[in-house]
């Protein structure tokens, strides 16, 4: 028998399952209850615009690119707070947030693959891992009735529970991961040694630029983030296989009764 899950992590299925009915509801929504205009979703749209600006400047203006990219990523920490504070959580907002994260990071990794051709396959693997782990995790959350992909119990995975349960941990790991990629981007533009930039001796860091130092500091966080992605992919795979086995067992029981 599967364990019963808490009421907090489950939501009763709604009656609207037909896609045409859902489209009609979205079309007929009023201004006062328009999910597209929820504050956290408006923040999400601004993230998309800033990410597009970062892509526009990425190849020739590193300052504007870095500013737009960083602000877009930082806003990710505010849309969730706004949703909870205003009572405007939505499935659309959750998916918009995840899709924006994946696409923004992947776009930067694509640039890094061209900037560092010897490591192109590494960046391609990172893109594939990021998309596959989050897609499978999101899908496994949906088929098991979870209200959010961020609701993970310690019984499923203590590591994922620790990662998703504490917003501070989630922010630090995600920020460190993005800062590592940004540092790799800036290393192509920053050539002045740290000692020259600061005008003082920095010991064994003397020959490095500040972008290289930033990359060295953030690399362990990036490595941890991708280990978590691997764990997330594996756990989601096991959940989906478990659902398959449960459904097959139920089908056999139904066949015996008929």
For residue 210, give both structure tokens. 């500040």
> For residue 56, which of 96, 99, 107, 109 has the smallest C-alpha distance?
107
Per DSSP, what are the bridge partners of residue 193? 209
Q: Which residues contact 130 (CB under 8 A, 6 or more apart)?
A: 102, 105, 106, 229
For residue 7, give both structure tokens. 């009421």
244 included as an active-site residue: no
> For residue 142, which of 41, 227, 243 has the smallest C-alpha distance?
243
Judge contact between 44 and 100, C-beta under 8 A: yes
| Euclidean distance between CA atoms 62 and 68, whole angstroms | 10
Half-sphere exposure of 164 (CA within 13 A, CB side): 18
CA distances from 199 to 55, 92, 190, 195, 215 (A): 33, 50, 16, 6, 21
Cβ atoms within 10 Å, residue 143:
12
Q: What radius of gyration do the chain's Cα atoms show?
A: 22
Instruction: Out of 101, 130, 244, 254, pick the active-site residue.
Output: 101
Give the CA angle between residues 128, 138, 25 to the nearest 5°: 125
Q: Which residues contact 246 (CB under 8 A, 6 or more apart)?
A: 2
Residues marked active site are found at 101
């Amino acid at each position: 028998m599967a364990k019963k899950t808490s009421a907090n992590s489950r939501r009763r299925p709604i009656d609207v399952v037909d896609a045409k009915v859902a489209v009609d509801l979205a079309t007929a929504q009023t201004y006062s209850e328009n999910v597209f205009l929820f504050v956290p979703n408006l923040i999400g749209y601004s993230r998309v615009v800033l990410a597009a600006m970062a892509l526009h400047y990425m190849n020739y203006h590193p300052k504007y690119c870095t500013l737009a990219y960083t602000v877009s990523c930082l806003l990710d920490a505010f849309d969730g707070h706004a949703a909870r504070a205003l009572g405007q959580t939505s499935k659309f907002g959750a998916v918009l947030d995840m899709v924006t994260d994946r696409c923004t990071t992947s776009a930067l990794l694509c640039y890094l693959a061209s900037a560092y051709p010897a490591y192109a396959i590494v960046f391609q693997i990172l893109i594939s891992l990021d998309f596959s782990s989050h897609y499978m995790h999101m899908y496994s959350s949906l088929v098991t009735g979870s209200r959010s992909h961020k609701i993970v119990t310690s019984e499923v995975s203590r590591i994922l529970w620790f990662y998703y349960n504490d917003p501070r941990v989630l922010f630090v790991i995600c920020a460190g991961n993005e800062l590592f990629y940004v540092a790799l981007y800036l290393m192509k533009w920053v050539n002045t040694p740290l000692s020259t930039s600061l005008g003082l001796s920095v010991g064994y860091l003397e020959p490095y630029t500040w972008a290289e130092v930033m990359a060295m500091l953030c690399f362990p966080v990036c490595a941890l983030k991708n280990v978590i992605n691997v764990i997330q992919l594996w756990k989601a795979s096991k959940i989906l296989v478990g659902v398959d086995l449960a459904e097959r067992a139920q089908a056999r029981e139904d066949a015996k009764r008929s």
